[in-house]
Amino acid sequence: MSTLAANAPGAAGSGLADVAASEASLRRFLHGLPGVDQVGLEARAATLGTRSIKTTAKAYAIDLAISMIDLTTLEGADTVGKVRALCTKGRNPDPSDPSAPRVAAICVYPDMVATAKAALRGTDIQVASVATAFPAGRAALPVKLADTADAVADGADEIDMVIDRGAFLSGRYLDVFNEIVAVKEACRRPDGTSAHLKVIFETGELQTYDNVRRASWLAMLAGADFIKTSTGKVAVNATPPVTLLMLEAVRDFRAQTGIQVGVKPAGGIKTTKDAMKYLVMVNETLGDDWLTPHWFRFGASSLLNDLLMQRQKLTTGRYSGPDYVTVD
């Protein structure tokens, strides 16, 4: 077994320690996972999407969804001022109503981590940083590890890494596995604690549901704390069927290993109605154990505004419109 594979937290002590002993054993395991029933998966996701949430439950669900948001700015034109403004919004999403919950995290590029960390001082809002040559992931491993280590040194609480989709689609599963293990190690701080690692698959590029299931198990075996659908930078991002498949994967992984892993759909989730569908899926598939910001997140930039408008409508009986929430 390779040194990296031996150190993989998801495999060690789980009865799966030999899975990544070689390319052949890892391939055998991943291709031995049950095939995905496409029709059944899509039908189940569609059915869950029709569930209605009544007024009292909706108010609770809106606040829960707000508390699960990774409020994100990942643009080449990001400035210190924009990041500080986003942090202010994350701390106090609705200035007219201090009872509105804070978001879970602010997600920024590595060079903006120190700015976000300073702006969020005194809160429990996490600073998440995309690293490993986000969004394409096309860089040498030492560059990716340096990117990660720099973000952690600047105070990042969470690292969102992207897998090498080219390696995965070429069947070089052990390369992808070892890279995740190496990035996980780069998340370690001098005091022995670690930033949480979210592993992004870019599911819109993985071509098949079977590949999404394989990527989910591969990442969890390698030690991912979260598995994440997308970067938000391609045409197809989070979808209900893909997210449902990933929810089922973390459920089955915990049943087999005892290790709980979080899930983060990202990209394209823009409305309260969208968010409700995902929360129903989590509740129906995983139950209360995952219905917390510690285990489920939304990667979003515009979702928060719609949740706030719907929240105001439930509180006042009037739909305020976008002019009554702060601009991202």
Enumerate the active-site residues: 160, 228, 264
Please classify residue 276 by burial: count the beta carbons closer than 10 Å to its beta carbon, then call 0-12 exposed, 13-18 middle and 19+ buried.
buried
- Give me the helix-helix angle, 209-222 and 173-186, nearest 10°: 40
Q: How far apart are CA 50 and CA 65, in angstroms?
A: 18
Rounded to whole angstroms, the Cα distance separating 310 from 68 reads 16
| Contact in structure between 225 and 198 (CB atoms under 8 Å) | yes
Q: How far apart are CA 80 and CA 168, in angstroms?
A: 36
What six digits make up the tokens of 189?
A: 């701080």
Q: How far separated are the first and last CA of the chain, in Å rounded?
A: 48
Nearest alpha-carbon partner for 212 in 199, 221, 202: 202
How far apart, in whole angstroms, are the C-alpha atoms of residue 49 and residue 42? 11
| Dist CA 226 CA 216 (whole Å) | 10
Phi, psi of 200 (to 5 degrees): -95, 130
Burial pattern 232-241, b for ≥16 Cβ within 10 A else e, equals: bbeeebbbbb
